[in-house]
Amino acid sequence: MSQQQVWFITGSSRGFGRALTAAALEAGDLVVATARRPEVIAEAFGEYGERVLPLALDVTDPDAAGEAVEAALARFGRVDVLVNNAGYANVSPIETTDDKDFRTQFETNFWGVYHVTRAALPTLRAQGHGTVVQFSSVGGRVGGSPGIASYQAAKFAVDGFSRVLAAETAPFGLRVMVVEPSGFATDWAGSSMTVQPVPEAYDETVGVLNRRVRQSEGGAAGDPRRAAEILVRTVKREKIPSHLLLGVNAVDMALDYSRRQLSEATAWEKVSRSADFAEPYPEGLPEEPMGRAEPKERRGPAEPVRPAEPTG
């Protein structure tokens, strides 16, 4: 692996993308920093001169993605690390979300990842090396954050896409890592987020998440600079994790989710196996816990709602 790496980072004008651009440059690397407004990048990182290439890129445009990769190759000759970071979320319940807004979010959060990855793959494959870093969220692992269905569905899709990508490209010497942060002090819940009116019926779910994420006096716990430095150090290792959690909340939520998944799969194991022809059938269903509460007319979330989403 080359000591000085060439990074291609989407969404570099703010948030994680900006922090990661700074960390890579501080580590002595070269960066193709893309955003819808490249002049912001040029102003922020002008001191690095020819080591940074600011490029305009709308990740939802596959032709523009291809042109950006070609520009990167023209300047630096290769791409060592591709980072799909660009993304945003708007808040509204599924029932009242505008179809166009739901699709538009998905265009950036999933199809943007798809377009940029596809554009870079021929180069990465021909090089015989490269690392693809896909920004997801701990919400893309555990799910269930009310009000951001499009964003979270896209992050689950990014994870599934990335798992297949890793399997397909491993023989070419490529590595794929999915990053799953919890709440960080970025603009994710700031000006880049639109919050639609929350109907009263959803105040206990969507309303709670909105208030905790956007009106928290303490702010997010995560430090984007630290996270960016961790990512740069991790990518330079010989072995990288397939999924990297970032932040205390991310670790706690992921471990709790994994334990509950394992417990549920174990409890239903015999029933699940009995669906195959060769297995004993029928199997009795697991006993339900005693003292179940009767359903109420209105119920809140089954689990505490914790802000889980970071990217922007």
Beta-carbon contacts of 271 under 8 Å, excluding residues fewer than 6 positions away, are: 283, 284, 285, 286
Is the sign of the CA dihedral 95, 97, 102, 105 positive or negative? Answer: negative
Helix 15-26 / helix 224-235 crossing angle, nearest 10 deg: 50
CB of 15 within 8 A of CB of 36? no
Instruction: Mark whether 270 is an active-site residue.
Output: no
How many residues comprise the chain? Answer: 312
List the catalytic residue out of 13, 136, 162, 182: 136
CB of 91 within 8 A of CB of 40? no
178: which strand partners?
134, 243
In angstroms, rounded to a whole number, what is the distance separating the alpha carbons of residues 179 and 194?
24
Q: What is the DSSP letter of 184?
A: B
Beta-carbon contacts of 180 under 8 Å, excluding residues fewer than 6 positions away, are: 136, 137, 138, 140, 141, 243, 244, 245, 246, 250, 254
Instruction: Mark whether 155 is an active-site residue.
Output: yes
- The count of C-alpha atoms lying within 13 angstroms of the C-alpha of 265, restricted to the half-sphere facing its C-beta, is 6
List the catalytic residue out of 151, 162, 182, 202: 151
Q: Is 177 helix (H, G, I), strand (E, B) or coil?
A: strand
Beta-carbon contacts of 299 under 8 Å, excluding residues fewer than 6 positions away, are: none
CB of 119 within 8 A of CB of 61? no
List the catalytic residue out of 12, 88, 137, 155: 155
Residues belonging to the active site: 136, 151, 155
